[in-house]
Amino acid sequence: MPYENEHDTSKLLRECDAGIKMGITSLEDVIPQTDDPRLEHILKQSRQEHIRLRAEAERQLNRIKDKGKSPAAMAKSMSSLKTQFTMQTGDDTDAARLVTKGCEKGIGSLNKYLDKYRYADEKSKRLTNELIAAEQKLVSELNRFKS
């Protein structure tokens, strides 16, 4: 079981790391495209929370001597292109929908990884749950902009 624990911990933290990095990049792509100062504020707060979670992920990865994981290059490129394309003619409602879709995809993936890497240590599971909660909070805050 110790090997499974180390393996699952490493895998779960790597997936969190990649997801957090993807979230930060996506938020940074959308923030300059927003017009509503309230939406911009919410997105900036979320970016700060993701940066905090990224620092925690890095601490945990360093503890187990793992370098982490970057988002897949293709996924990152496609996300950036979709944001650019959507926001060329889009508005704040489109921005909120775009970020919400990204959050929902991230939440689904993280829940899948929690199940898949069930032998991960409690610290990595706690980080994953914090990330899920941050994504859920952002989705909830964005609801008022999607009308």
pLDDT digits (tens, 9 = 90+) for 82-122: 888 777 888 999 999 999 999 999 999 999 999 999 999 99
What is the structure's pLDDT at 79? 80
DSSP letter for each residue of the chain? -HHHHHHHHHHHHHHHHHHHHHHHHHHHHHGGG---HHHHHHHHHHHHHHHHHHHHHHHHHHHTT----PPPHHHHHHHHHHHHHHHHH--HHHHHHHHHHHHHHHHHHHHHHHHHTTTS-HHHHHHHHHHHHHHHHHHHHHGGG--
Q: Give the domains, in start order, of the chain with CATH numbers.
A: 2-145 (1.20.1260.10)
pTM for the whole structure: 0.91
What is the structure's pLDDT at 114? 98
